Structure 1
Amino acid sequence: MADDELRLADLLCALSVSLDLAMAQPLEKSIRSCLVAIRLSRRLGLSAVDQRTVYYATLLRHLGCTATTHEEADLMGPGVAYLRPLMERTDPASKRESLNVLRQVGKGTGVRRLQYLARTLTTNEAPVLLAICEVGSMLAERLRLGPEVAAAIYQSMERWDGAGTPDGLAGEEIAEATRIAEVATQAVIFTSLGGPAAVEAAFRRRQGRWLDPSVVEAYDQELVSDLEGIDVWQETLDAEPLPHGKADRLEEVAEAFAHFVDLKSPYLFGHSTGVAALVDQAAHRLRLDDGERATARQAGYLHDLGRVAVPTGVWERSSGLRRGDWEQVRLHPYQSERILARSTALEPVAALVALHHERLDGSGYPRQSKAPELPVAARLLAVADVFQALTQERPHRAALSPEAAADVVLGEVGAGRLDGDCARAVLEAAGQQAPGRLTSRPAGLSEREVEVLRLLARGRSNAEIARELVVSPRTAEHHVQHIYGKIGVSTRAAAALFAMQHGLFTP
């Protein structure tokens, strides 16, 4: 599907699931809130233009939520990620509700809990909240959603009574989209917790304080009563105000969400964009066609979306990962795939990101896939991810120099875990010298070319080779021509004889 045929809502609904994961909320919570908000806006008689602002401001309400996870973990303890659902529904003006959050701070940290409690009680939280608002607004601008959406997201922590942040706006000074988004979001949260009675009780306490009274008055149970029995995803797509936004800049969407992920920890800054750049340059060196190259580059941007489901404290642990930590880490490629596969347009990208921690010998995760199951773009992504990570500081080690990182990558090639051709392409893209030959195959054949040769010798056509190796027919044809040139033949039969003479039929 061409970019200009894609609906922006389809992409952003899919990617909004990463916001739910980052907030430790049920999947589709953002989508449900969006649907309720758009229903509310229609009941309130908003124009189509204003409804569009409500739609995207609610769907992407938590776009800045990864901006402060590092500070939150330092302030409230490594388990703060699990407190986010509680904090989101807590009225900070209520001493009783705030005390309930305080009881959970630092739980499970032993004697250090007193430190976390003291920090929470004495630290001014305003800079943390401001960062969330600023980052969400900036990312909305990067997504080209318009200044109204960016402003509404920036104001997402303001309150009707003026006791909110970052600017202490009150009443109708607050964007109408923000006021509607808040009521819709709380309606979805409290419906899931206790049904209509819980929503009514929450709104009764908060109307005129946290929430706009007129929006609360427009709300009733009918707006959420069917959510459990409908396809919320499709209903939300259908509810997008006309004209539908087009995803004519898929690369910008991917890059914006790469920044969203990489903000989760200072150790990750620039990781996803760095991987995307390496993959793009290396794909050119490997002569992948334009479509494959674009998909690989997009996978580079989005491969780590699933990281947001893992608490920041795990990624920033300076000691070895504990068993429970490791289980969460092993699942993050699956989470990335799960997010992206929800959009038809992103399915090819989802298939690649699911494989970025797999290895040729089956030692990777989460599926333990082996070489025949790993297309060249996935192998390329794996190498780029390794190299980029090695050149960045991590809690348990200093950043490696590019030269040292290249040595590690070559060691992984020698151990049979990373692809030699892809390693050479990535290292050259990174400005590093790679050995002229990373394998001992005859005539300088690469491991990938040996795979192609085996299929060619067995009578496979270029199209069949392409299907089996998950590449384009044009790429398969390039491989065949390079093989013929290297081994000095021009027919399939002669290539088959060469393969037999050199024992290349056995992996």
Structure 2
Amino acid sequence: MTGSPPLPRRVEVLAGLSIAIDLGLGQPAEHMLRSAVVACRLADRLGLAREQRATIYYATLVMWIGCHADSQEYARWFGDDIAVRRDSYLVDWSGLPYLRFLLGNVGRGEPVGQRVKTMSALFRDARGNIATLVHSHCLSAAALARHIGLGPDVEQAIAFTFERYDGGGLPTGAAGDAIPIEMRVAQLADMAEVHERLYGADGAMAMVRSRRGGHFDPAVVDAFCAHCADLFPAPDDDPWQQALDLAPDAEIRLDGAGLDVLLTAIGDFVDLKCPFALGHSRSVAKLADSAARQVGLSAADTDAIRRAGFVHDVGRLGVSNQIWSKPAELTGAEWERVRMHPYLTDRVLTRISGLGTIAAIARAHHEHVDGTGYPLGIGGAALGRSERLLAAAVAYQSALEPRPYREPMSAEDAAARLRRRAQRGALDGDCVAAVLTAAGHARSRMHRDDTLTPRETEILGLVARGLSNREIAERLVLSEKTVRNHVERTYTKIGASNRVGASLYALQNGLAGPPD
């Protein structure tokens, strides 16, 4: 699209991923970015090599990526998987204090009877059960690091995330220098960031000293304490920009194919949070892409809706699996948390330069034309054709997948449900027809009867954006006369007499598309 911003740098997308990881940790956005700043500065104080510093940077950003892939198991033992991860930052993971922490969090938020049952199952072999969970995390983290294109050094380092310097960690009990120095630095930076934010520099140093020789490498602790005042971002600093400036490959900008590969990997990562959603994001992106071509969206708009499909559910990471996996009706409070996940998607994606249009489409994937959707309840002219297409694609694909409260629907039942939603005004009829055609169903009668061709629809969208006939001709590589003929035929078909009338029609029917 002419005038579109350049595609983001690779590190920007990975920084956005780190904010998504923060959601699942119960930490404020930019926790992992701040931790990466601390870790890199600490690496410099330790005199580590450039290659080690590069590994430390990315290992710190994504060290907890495996937790989200195992959210189902966390929820099985601890109920609210996000709450237990958040609170675990405040305890040392060894000895009786850690056992008391586990005991206090087993089945968190569940009825008393269920908590007792889960507690009995866990503590029959507490270390064995936790070791199994940690081992799964480490395998998941390494696989995901490889999947998103990080190097073997990062993959190796994050396999040691749960190990301790004293050998009391999991899953292998590695100790001392057997734990890569990159992870020894990342571990301390991750924990210290939380304690400094909550209790100040003195609180962070007290925590770090208390774990010297236990959780943390004494040499790393000593370097941290000697330079603590210089390691943390200042309150008025921008952690996002500071972290990007420290990136070892800050200059690498993605091309279209590279962006698709990375967004696909992130969507795969998000889907792992809920086993019943495996492959959901890929399927939605493919369906939305095909439907966009059906209705004649431009190549740029088709790219945007496909990419929004890959990452529309990133905000799911900020909602506990205790809710996603509930087989019964949600409470009002639980439903409000579910309604927040598109907003959380927006928070992640809007931080990444060049993804503004993608974020706008993705955050609207549960909005309805009649204003009954969420999170904002917007509708009508506020939803462009891309947003309406993605909403229809998400609704169809979700129907095909199992949920804890229902079995998967057949393709015909899913199509019938989509048509019913279009009939009552929740989904756009044209977009439903396009999605169903893309999904292999017989072409349905279009909800509108204007019989616009794909080219006329495209030109109407450009007219609504305020482009002149000459500008449209230049953009579409057509003659100005040809454009004028298309515009006149379009006006006749939709009953408009001027540009204002045509623009209002485009808005009301979601044909205007996003602005340049």
TM-score, normalization by structure 1: 0.88
- TM-aligned CA deviation for residue 80 of structure 1: 3.4
User: Secondary structure of 2:293's match?
Assistant: helix
- Consecutive unaligned residues of structure 1, counting only runs of 5 or more, are none
Of the candidates 145, 150, 172, which is equivalent to residue 150 of structure 2?
A: 145
Of the candidates 399, 417, 438, which is equivalent to residue 390 of structure 1?
A: 399
2:261 aligned residue: 252
Of the candidates 352, 355, 374, which is equivalent to residue 346 of structure 1?
A: 355
1:84 aligned residue: 85
Output aligned runs, 1:203-214, within 5 Å.
Answer: 203-214=208-219
User: Secondary structure of 1:287's match?
Assistant: coil
Cα distance, 1:171–1:21 mapped onto 2, change above 3 Å = same
- TM-aligned CA deviation for residue 439 of structure 1: 2.2
2:512 aligned residue: none
For residues 394 and 401 of structure 2, the distance between their equivalents in structure 1, rounded to whole angstroms, comes to 11
Of the candidates 196, 218, 226, which is equivalent to residue 223 of structure 2?
A: 218
On the 8 A contact 1:359/1:370 being kept in 2, the answer is yes
Aligned partner of 1:46: which letter?
A: L
1:41 aligned residue: 43
- TM-aligned CA deviation for residue 474 of structure 1: 5.9
- TM-aligned CA deviation for residue 2 of structure 1: 8.9
Aligned partner of 1:386: which letter?
A: A
- TM-aligned CA deviation for residue 431 of structure 1: 1.4
1:227 aligned residue: 234
Cα distance, 1:129–1:447 mapped onto 2, change above 3 Å = same
For residues 472 and 362 of structure 1, the distance between their equivalents in structure 2, rounded to whole angstroms, comes to 35
Identity across matched positions, percent = 34
1:25 aligned residue: 27
- TM-aligned CA deviation for residue 338 of structure 1: 0.9
Cα distance, 1:52–1:101 mapped onto 2, change above 3 Å = same
For residues 416 and 44 of structure 2, the distance between their equivalents in structure 1, rounded to whole angstroms, comes to 60
User: Secondary structure of 1:125's match?
Assistant: helix
For residues 461 and 227 of structure 1, the distance between their equivalents in structure 2, rounded to whole angstroms, comes to 48
1:313 aligned residue: 322
User: Secondary structure of 1:116's match?
Assistant: helix
Of the structure 1 ranges 102-111 and 48-57, higher mean CA displacement relative to structure 2 is found in 102-111
Aligned partner of 1:119: which letter?
A: A
Of the candidates 185, 188, 191, which is equivalent to residue 190 of structure 2?
A: 185
Cα distance, 1:47–1:498 mapped onto 2, change above 3 Å = closer
Aligned partner of 2:247: which letter?
A: E
On the 8 A contact 1:420/1:446 being kept in 2, the answer is no
Cα distance, 1:239–1:490 mapped onto 2, change above 3 Å = closer
- TM-aligned CA deviation for residue 446 of structure 1: 9.2
The answer on 1:6 being equivalent to 2:8 is: yes
For residues 15 and 473 of structure 1, the distance between their equivalents in structure 2, rounded to whole angstroms, comes to 38
Aligned length: 490
- TM-aligned CA deviation for residue 101 of structure 1: 3.6
Cα distance, 1:448–1:325 mapped onto 2, change above 3 Å = farther
Output aligned runs, 1:39-118, within 5 Å.
Answer: 39-77=41-79, 79-108=80-109, 109-118=111-120
- TM-aligned CA deviation for residue 81 of structure 1: 2.2
On the 8 A contact 2:34/2:233 being kept in 1, the answer is no
- TM-aligned CA deviation for residue 392 of structure 1: 0.3
Listed one character per residue, the Cα deviations across residues 349-371 of structure 1 (whole Å, up to 9, x for unaligned) are: 11111111111111111111112
Cα distance, 1:330–1:44 mapped onto 2, change above 3 Å = same
- TM-aligned CA deviation for residue 113 of structure 1: 1.9
On the 8 A contact 1:80/1:105 being kept in 2, the answer is no
- TM-aligned CA deviation for residue 497 of structure 1: 5.6
User: Secondary structure of 2:93's match?
Assistant: coil
The answer on 1:155 being equivalent to 2:160 is: yes
- TM-aligned CA deviation for residue 244 of structure 1: 3.8
Listed one character per residue, the Cα deviations across residues 16-72 of structure 1 (whole Å, up to 9, x for unaligned) are: 111010111122110110000000111111222221111011011111121111112
2:244 aligned residue: 237
On the 8 A contact 1:289/1:475 being kept in 2, the answer is no
For residues 364 and 491 of structure 2, the distance between their equivalents in structure 1, rounded to whole angstroms, comes to 35
Aligned partner of 1:26: which letter?
A: P
2:282 aligned residue: 273
Of the candidates 167, 171, 174, which is equivalent to residue 166 of structure 1?
A: 171
Listed one character per residue, the Cα deviations across residues 402-449 of structure 1 (whole Å, up to 9, x for unaligned) are: 1110111111111122122222221122112232x23262x5459998
Aligned partner of 1:438: which letter?
A: M
Aligned partner of 2:420: which letter?
A: G
Aligned partner of 2:208: which letter?
A: F
Aligned partner of 1:269: which letter?
A: L
On the 8 A contact 2:78/2:84 being kept in 1, the answer is no
The answer on 1:131 being equivalent to 2:139 is: no
1:415 aligned residue: 424
Output aligned runs, 1:319-398, within 5 Å.
Answer: 319-398=328-407
Cα distance, 1:4–1:357 mapped onto 2, change above 3 Å = closer
On the 8 A contact 1:18/1:306 being kept in 2, the answer is yes
- Consecutive unaligned residues of structure 2, counting only runs of 5 or more, are 509-516
Cα distance, 1:51–1:267 mapped onto 2, change above 3 Å = same
Cα distance, 1:379–1:187 mapped onto 2, change above 3 Å = same
Cα distance, 1:398–1:473 mapped onto 2, change above 3 Å = farther
For residues 140 and 63 of structure 1, the distance between their equivalents in structure 2, rounded to whole angstroms, comes to 8
Tell me how large the CA RMSD over aligned residues is: 3.3
User: Secondary structure of 1:219's match?
Assistant: helix
Aligned partner of 2:264: which letter?
A: E
Cα distance, 1:318–1:474 mapped onto 2, change above 3 Å = farther
Cα distance, 1:218–1:424 mapped onto 2, change above 3 Å = same
For residues 209 and 147 of structure 2, the distance between their equivalents in structure 1, rounded to whole angstroms, comes to 37
On the 8 A contact 2:7/2:354 being kept in 1, the answer is no
2:511 aligned residue: none
Listed one character per residue, the Cα deviations across residues 333-362 of structure 1 (whole Å, up to 9, x for unaligned) are: 111001110111222211111111111111
Cα distance, 1:146–1:496 mapped onto 2, change above 3 Å = closer
- TM-aligned CA deviation for residue 262 of structure 1: 0.8
On the 8 A contact 2:37/2:232 being kept in 1, the answer is no
- TM-aligned CA deviation for residue 246 of structure 1: 3.7
Of the candidates 296, 299, 303, which is equivalent to residue 305 of structure 2?
A: 296
Of the structure 1 ranges 327-336 and 5-14, higher mean CA displacement relative to structure 2 is found in 5-14
The answer on 1:438 being equivalent to 2:446 is: yes
- TM-aligned CA deviation for residue 166 of structure 1: 2.6
For residues 336 and 475 of structure 1, the distance between their equivalents in structure 2, rounded to whole angstroms, comes to 33
